[in-house]
Structure 1
């Protein structure tokens, strides 16, 4: 009686591992750009919905609502560390949590990916009770995933009237 053994030989297994390694090496860079694109779209969607929320809360509360980067007791400058949306009761341009009438924080957005950076035309966006941006300051908010000016960068534009829209033209992150 002859016993038949099935399986792979060492040569077949080595060829399979080498071919798999080559395919992974070729596919890895394109997967990275795909991941950056998904990350940028997700982040700009979060930012856009947060600004829409801030504008609607300004209209609902009948007061000024501001959006600025997180810092200890005032607005910071680094948007990648996250930002807060708050009812702005002060006139000093800082988040007042100690003296006077305390600002009410409505929402905080957590930090974004540390490999990415955010460029904004304004350090702070504030909406009037009518939904318009205070002082008519419009701006563009750019989320740049990974490398500067990568094809996966995304942006939104905030007009003086408070309208928030996606930017469809080329995005400059420099």
Structure 2
């Protein structure tokens, strides 16, 4: 009598490897696309959350609160418009001049962005008045995550009313 054999032949195993290779080849670019999109979404989310926090603190305190590009690694002063990638500082700014008068006025800091990520704008700071409207810094902020290609960039537009909107843009 013939006994039944269990298992796979070499041809069946080889076909399985070929199919797995094809699926991996198709899946890797999709995964990279997903990661780029997630990096951009995370970066814009962090930035918009910081804006919302700045605005809510200004309204809560009834005085101006400023978010500015960090001027140094110690977050002790504001920098210029070109270095938002070095992180940012949120601080109470009662006189609304955009300068940190007292280190105790610092409310929050955000560390430098990953290498290759950037925030491009002409604005060195964003100041919300106690009413929640913008005193300074309304405009467009272009955010690009590390390894950005295609339409995975984000643009944050801040209206004079203080509202921020995010749109997808080319890198």
TM-score w.r.t. length of structure 2: 0.78
Instruction: Spell out, residue by residue over 1:65-86, the C-alpha distance to the aligned partner (whole angstroms, 9 max, x if none).
Output: 1112332221234323432211
Query: Is 1:79 matched with 2:79?
Result: no
The answer (yes or no) to whether the contact 1:88–1:103 under 8 Å persists in 2 is no
Instruction: Spell out, residue by residue over 1:72-123, the C-alpha distance to the aligned partner (whole angstroms, 9 max, x if none).
Output: 2212343234322111257764434xxxx33422222344443432222312
The corresponding residue for 2:110 is 109
Query: Is 1:33 matched with 2:33?
Result: yes
Query: Is 1:157 matched with 2:157?
Result: yes
Q: Please, which runs of 5 or more residues in structure 2 have no aligned partner? A: none
Q: Please, which runs of 5 or more residues in structure 1 have no aligned partner? A: none
RMSD of equivalent CA atoms:
2.7
Distance change (3 Å), C-alpha of 1:129 and 1:163? same
The corresponding residue for 1:66 is 66
Instruction: Spell out, residue by residue over 1:109-167, the C-alpha distance to the aligned partner (whole angstroms, 9 max, x if none).
Output: 344443432222312111122222224x4211222234566312122211223222233
Distance change (3 Å), C-alpha of 1:109 and 1:23? same
Query: Is 1:56 matched with 2:56?
Result: yes
Where 1:141 maps in the other structure, the secondary structure is: strand
The answer (yes or no) to whether the contact 1:95–1:103 under 8 Å persists in 2 is no
The answer (yes or no) to whether the contact 2:91–2:108 under 8 Å persists in 1 is yes
Length, aligned pairs only? 166
Where 2:142 maps in the other structure, the secondary structure is: strand
The answer (yes or no) to whether the contact 1:145–1:153 under 8 Å persists in 2 is yes
Where 1:142 maps in the other structure, the secondary structure is: strand
Where 1:78 maps in the other structure, the secondary structure is: helix
The answer (yes or no) to whether the contact 1:86–1:106 under 8 Å persists in 2 is yes
Higher mean C-alpha deviation, range 74-83 or range 63-72: 74-83
Shift of 1:32: 0.9
